[in-house]
Amino acid sequence: MRYYFIAGEASGDMHAANCIKNIYLFDANAEFAFTGGDQMKAITNKTPDIHITQMNFMGFIDVLKHIKIIKQNFKTVKQSILNFKPDVLILVDYPGFNLRMAKWAFENGIKVDYYISPTVWAWKEGRVEIIKKYVKQLFVILPFEKQFYEKHNYKAHFLGHPLLDAIENKRKDLKKIEEFIRDNKLNNQPIIAVLPGSRLQEINHMLKIMIKVRSNFKEYQFVIAGTNTLPQSAYKLALDNNIKVVFNQTYDLLNLAEAGIIKSGTSTLETALFKLPQVVCYKAGALSIKIAKFFVNIKFISLPNLIMDKPIVKELIQADFSVNNITNELNLLLKNKEYRNNQIKEYENLINFLGGAGASNKIAKQIVEDIAK
């Protein structure tokens, strides 16, 4: 059978790749085409129709600035899908693009599954109707999302969170501290991990303040998790300040660090799954935040807090995102044993709540079986 995947960012590329790997277990003759990144490319040995580096636009202003590219991306992907003639189109997160593709595909007689629900529970709840009308199967990765869709008379499938699989798959290849230090030419000081995001706009808004925190922790070395989807020049400020940037080693970094300064997003959950104490940060352009506040209706921005519906980790957003506030929280995480252990205990509750590894396999099995019906 033929499967077409669309992912628009690094995390979606990773989850799609794991799903593809598992689809091969149930469909030995599976054929794939996709819009995505290097991880899907590695699994399928095929080139994406559009690479995620050409789709990675964030926020209202950035989308408006790149509207011509986005329109061309729609045109290219639609033609690729028509040429490939898939048995199913599998959309992975990335709702601004993928919800439009769902409608188009449905109208063109193409079966649509959606993997990783758009956050319709946070804003634009009316998008539920788009999903109900155009999506055959929806796979959610947060337990409360299943109940949310049930309220809207739509059956969504919660089969676990695929990050548990991604981390489990990586554990056997994680580096020892001595190897990590040697390979990256680090010193022997304990590490504070800095994850400033995977988009250029995020780094531009946040990295400067994150770096300034270092002067208050001279007994530690700050190490930044870089992404290969951005040019090295994105990290010029860090490199100019003699702060190491490591690429394609985020899980090693989270596994070996003492604490983390983490940009809100998927990385907050990854950090929690490695049981690394963290402070969550977020800052965006003033206009984007004003627009978002008008629409968004959530109590928390970090995934650990959202999933457990309580403040497990400290969130520093916009004006609260400051050198002093990050310093105060890091001091608690590093020097207050009870405070630190409390957060780690909450992480353990979170992991139990998510139900363990195996989601990618279960989702792949259901996708294949549904096509065969």
Say if residue 101 is in the same domain as residue 245: no
Say if residue 216 is in the same domain as residue 345: yes
pLDDT at 366: 96
Say if residue 235 is in the same domain as residue 340: yes
Higher pLDDT, 66 or 354: 354
* Residue that is written with structure tokens 């290849």 in the block: 173
pLDDT at 260: 98
Q: How far, in Å, are 88, 140, 279, 296 from residue 113 at the CA level?
A: 7, 11, 35, 25
Say if residue 227 is in the same domain as residue 193: yes
Contacts of 185 (CB under 8 A, 6+ apart): 244
User: What span, in angstroms and rounded, lies between the C-alpha atoms of 253 and 36?
Assistant: 25
Q: How far, in Å, are 7, 92, 113, 174, 344 from residue 99 at the CA level?
A: 12, 10, 11, 36, 37
Say if residue 61 is in the same domain as residue 134: yes
Say if residue 343 is in the same domain as residue 367: no
User: What span, in angstroms and rounded, lies between the C-alpha atoms of 295 and 125?
Assistant: 10
Say if residue 148 is in the same domain as residue 204: no
Q: Which domain holds residue 68?
A: 2-160+358-372
Say if residue 75 is in the same domain as residue 139: yes
User: What span, in angstroms and rounded, lies between the C-alpha atoms of 319 and 289?
Assistant: 11
pTM given for the model = 0.81
Flag whether pLDDT at 295 surpasses 50: no
In total, how many domains does the chain have? 2
Q: List, for residues 115-174, the tens digit of each pLDDT value.
A: 999 888 767 788 899 999 999 999 999 998 999 999 999 999 999 999 999 898 888 899
The CATH number linked to 62 is 3.40.50.2000
